[in-house]
Amino acid sequence: MFSQVFLNGLFSSSIYCLVSLGLTIILGVMDIADFAQGGLYMLGAFVVFFAAKIWGLPFLFAVGLSILAAVMVGVVNNILVYQPAMKRGANSLIAALGILLIIQNLALLIFGADYQTFQLPFGQKNLEILMGTITVYKGTIVLMACFLVPSVWLFLQKTRIGKAIRAVSQNKEGAAIVGIGSGKVSVFTFSIGASLVGATGAMVAPIYAFDTSFGTDIIVKAFTIVIFGGLGSIRGTIVGALIIGIGENMIAGYLSTEYSNLMTFLLLILILFVRPQGIFGRKAI
């Protein structure tokens, strides 16, 4: 029982970590709580559904289209909404929620209100690990998270663009003085965040039935993880995702699924009271 619950929690943690990672990068660099990423998560699911199931394209190619669509929408959101809003001193959180509602309603007009499902494209067999079972497909997503998270960290630490992103996150004025433009950095930042959330939405689409409100629940959990771990902290994002993902599956497995989501909100309230800066504080990425 424990092994099965733990494996389920590990899979949930991988999904939460990938979505939260994009959110924490954007929040840590641009100070924007981009709730609109919930819409990009949903967009990734619908794009891969139509590309793979309706149009018959190879699944991995369809995932690539989902990433491209999410990046395009995310960058357009930044250029047309967030940057003008921040220059005028407007509340970016209100703008993000407005974008999320717009994306969801446009998707409702285009795709309809029905739930969509399609079969796993590959990896339908089960793996037995420590007396628990997990599908090969879910195991692939866990491995993908284990690869992407350190890859993003290495990108931010070692590449020229990554160092520019870190510089802006630490001191926007100082970065501007040495010639690092926040405009270009913001485009790269939103591209990274959108690609992560779009890819995640596409990969989980064959597992869950989804509709136009598909990303609402997960973006709330992702925001809780970001606050729990500390704004801009990748290490905190990993720890927070593991705690919430495994914790809610423990509650669902040993108590009831009705209380599993309760952990997210209780943890959010607790961390706001006890340590509002998060367990790792506000650190540079």
Here the CATH number for the domain that contains residue 52 is 1.10.3470
Q: Does the structure show a pLDDT above 50 at 223?
A: yes
Residue 285 CA to residue 283 CA, distance in Å, equals: 6
| Dist CA 269 CA 285 (whole Å) | 25
* 284 found inside a domain: no
pLDDT tens for 64-120 read 999 999 999 999 999 998 888 878 877 788 888 889 999 999 999 988 888 998 888
Res 250 pLDDT > 60 = yes
Write down the pLDDT at residue 109.
92
Task: Read off the pLDDT of each residue in 187-200 and give the average, rounded to a whole number.
Answer: 92
- The arithmetic mean of pLDDT across residues 18-46, rounded, is 89
Instruction: Please state, in angstroms and rounded to a whole number, the distance separating the CA atoms of residues 143 and 150.
Output: 12
285 domain-assigned: no
Is 279 inside any structural domain? Answer: no
In a domain, 85, yes or no: yes
Mean of pLDDT over the chain: 86
The pLDDT tens digits for 3-28 are 888 999 999 999 999 999 988 888 87
Under the banding of pLDDT at 50, 70 and 90, the label for residue 143 is very high
Q: Check: CB of residue 92 under 8 Å from CB of residue 29.
A: no
- The C-alpha angle 214, 216, 217, rounded to 5 degrees, equals 95
Q: What is the DSSP string of the chain?
A: -HHHHHHHHHHHHHHHHHHHHHHHHHHHHH----TTHHHHHHHHHHHHIIIIIIS---HHHHHHHHHHHHHHHHHHHIIIIIHHHHHTT--HHHHHHHHHHHHHHHHHHHH-SS-B----SS--SEEEETTEEEEHHHHHHHHHHHHHHHHHHHHHHHSHHHHHHHHHHH-HHHHHHTT--HHHHHHHHHHHHHHHHHHHHHHHTTTS-B-TTTTHHHHHHHHHHHHHH-TT-HHHHHHHHHHHHHHHHHHHHHT-GGGTTHHHHHHHHHHHHH-TT-TT-S---
Q: Give the whole-angstrom CA distance, residue 21 versus residue 40.
A: 14
Percent of the chain predicted with pLDDT > 70: 94
Q: How confident is the model at residue 181 (pLDDT cuts 50, 70, 90)?
A: low
Residue 285 has pLDDT above 60, yes or no: no
The pLDDT, as a whole number, for residue 257 is 73
Is 165 inside any structural domain?
Answer: yes
Residue type, position 204, single letter: V
pLDDT exceeds cutoff 90 at 197 = yes
| Residues 235, 264: Cα–Cα separation, whole Å | 19
- Of 68-77, 153-162, 166-175, highest mean pLDDT: 68-77
- What pLDDT is stored for residue 130 in this prediction? 78
Cβ atoms within 10 A of the Cβ of 233, count?
24
pLDDT digits (tens, 9 = 90+) for 260-273: 777 777 777 777 78
The pLDDT score that the predictor gives to residue 13 is: 94
With a CB cutoff of 8 Å and minimum separation 6, the contacts of 67 are 44, 194, 195, 198, 199, 202
Total domains in the fold of the chain: 1
**Of residues 154 and 121, which shows the higher confidence score?**
154
pLDDT above 70 (res 280): yes
- Residue 234 within a domain: yes
Contacts of 178 (CB under 8 A, 6+ apart): 167
When mean pLDDT is compared over 42-51, 118-127, 168-177, 179-188, the highest value belongs to 42-51
Q: Are 185 and 28 in contact (CB under 8 A)?
A: no
pLDDT at 283 over 60: no
Domain with 75, as residue range(s), is: 2-117+126-274
Q: For 93, phi and psi rounded to 5 degrees?
A: -65, -45
**Residue 281: inside a domain:** no
Domain annotation covers residue 283: no
Q: Give dist(CA 274, CA 285) in Å, integer.
A: 23
> How distant, in Å, are the alpha carbons of 16, 28, 86, 183 from that of 180?
31, 17, 18, 9
* Mean pLDDT, rounded, for 252-256: 78
